[in-house]
Amino acid sequence: MSTPKPTPQKAPQMPADTTDAATDAAAQFVARYQAESPAREAWRMFRRNIPALVGTAMLLLIIGLTLYGTLIYTGDPFDIVWAPHEAPFVEPDFPLGTDYLGRDLMAGLLSGGGPTLAVGAAAAALTMIIGISMGALSGFYGGWVDNLLMRITEFFQVLPALLFAMVLVTLFSPSLITIAIAIGVVSWPQTARLTRAEFLKIKELEYVTAARAIGAGNGRIMWRVILPNALPPLIVSATLTIGVAILFEAGLSFLGLGDPNVMSWGLMIGANRDYILDAWWPVTFPGLAIFFTVFSVSLIGDGLNDAFNPKLRER
């Protein structure tokens, strides 16, 4: 891993009499092993991971379709445009058929992706913000701070997550924002525990003492010294949280607690679930969309995990 020292002994072909030439050669030697940041090194590892690349391509395709698909394939997903339960791949105007009200499934799928992904990403971001703050404070300060914050964390951890999220959504009117908040509020404890564990481990390391010795204060040590070193597992966890949050959103919508004014994949499944025996396609296509999205996010998370922990891979 470490760059060989550019010493004259190691490169006997270098003219030893002129120091300038030796320095030049040493500089070239150094240049070949050009500085590689840990982040870039992880990226290099990630690039070699085929499943992770497939996942990335898949997710980019899905994001692209939901962002630009509706520009090409126009049409309101709530409009009743055709006879109900038109089978897919029959009518060229409605390639995926229609649902029980005669709404275009293709339009629903394309415009429902955006809200689904947005809620997933927002919920994951909220999870990370709450989880990292709580975990960092309790791991760093220890003592009564740790005790208090960890009891709060455990309180949230023992609540049945979906039930609690349902209560939150019912209390406040269901909208994309309240759904994202509800998911974030129920899923942060895991992140908090992970962050706390990393902080407990890293705060004992010598470079933290060294940072204190040059006069760094608590805040700087927490956010500039320890957190960057704790990030790899947190990034992996954040990626996987996006997948979980998308499933959560789908679950809430399926139970009828989604935002009724915004088309989402969960809402499509929820609305059509009563007719599943008459028509398989209105629930299958959004289901597959959710499956492939979560699958691709998981592949990326796995790839990141491998990239950040090269030691875990057996090669």
Partner 1 sequence: MSALLQIENLQVTFNTRHGQVTALDSVSLSVNAGETLGVVGESGCGKSITALSVMGLIPMPPGRIAGGSIKLNGEELVGASDARLRGLRGSEVAMIFQEPMTSLNPVFSIGDQIAEAIMLHQNVSYDQAFKDAVALLDRVGIPSPDRRARDYPHQLSGGMRQRVMIAMAVSCRPKVLIADEPTTALDVTVQAQIFDLLNEIQRDFGAAIMLITHDMGAISEMADRVAVMYAGRVIEEASADQVLDTPQHPYARGLIDCIPALGKQETELREIPGVVPPLHMLGQGCAFKARCAHARPRCGTEKPLLRSHGAHPVACHGAEEGWL
- Residue 30 as a binder of partner 1 (CB under 8 A): the answer is yes
DSSP state of 68: H
Q: Taking CB under 8 A as the rule, does residue 1 contact partner 1?
A: yes
Say how many residues touch partner 1, by CB under 8 A: 33
Nearer to partner 1, 38 or 160 (CB): 38
Q: Are 247 and 290 in contact (CB under 8 A)?
A: yes
Distance (Å, rounded) from C-alpha 270 to C-alpha 208? 51
Q: Which of 190, 195, 128 is nearest to 154 (CA)?
A: 190
222 binds partner 1 (CB under 8 A): no
Instruction: Tell me if 210 contacts partner 1 by CB under 8 A.
Output: yes
CB 50 within 8 A of CB 302: no
Among 36, 93, 274, 278, binds partner 1 (CB under 8 A): 36
Position among 75, 156, 212, 309 found at the interface with partner 1 (CB under 8 A): 212
DSSP symbols for 10-36: G-TTS-SS-HHHHHHHHHHHHHHT---
Select 37 or 173, whichever has its Cβ closest to partner 1. Answer: 37
Residue selected from 125, 211, 247, 255 as contacting partner 1 according to rule CB under 8 A: 211
Q: Is residue 93 a contact point for partner 1 (CB under 8 A)? A: no
Q: Is 273 in the site for partner 1 (CB under 8 A)?
A: no
How far apart CA 195 and CA 199 sit, in angstroms, is: 6
Shortest Cβ distance from residue 38 to partner 1 (Å)? 5
Under rule CB under 8 A, residue 85 binds partner 1: no
Contacts of 23 (CB under 8 A, 6+ apart): none
Cα distances from 66 to residues 60, 76, 112, 156, 291, in angstroms, run 10, 14, 8, 34, 15
Q: Which of 83, 205, 276, 288 binds partner 1 (CB under 8 A)?
A: 205
The answer to the question of residue 207 lying near partner 1 (CB under 8 A) is: yes
Question: Does 92 contact partner 1 by CB under 8 A?
Answer: no
Residue where the block lists tokens 């698909």: 69
List residues binding partner 1 (CB under 8 A). 1-3, 5-6, 23, 26-27, 30-31, 33, 35-38, 205-207, 209-217, 220, 224-225, 228-229, 231
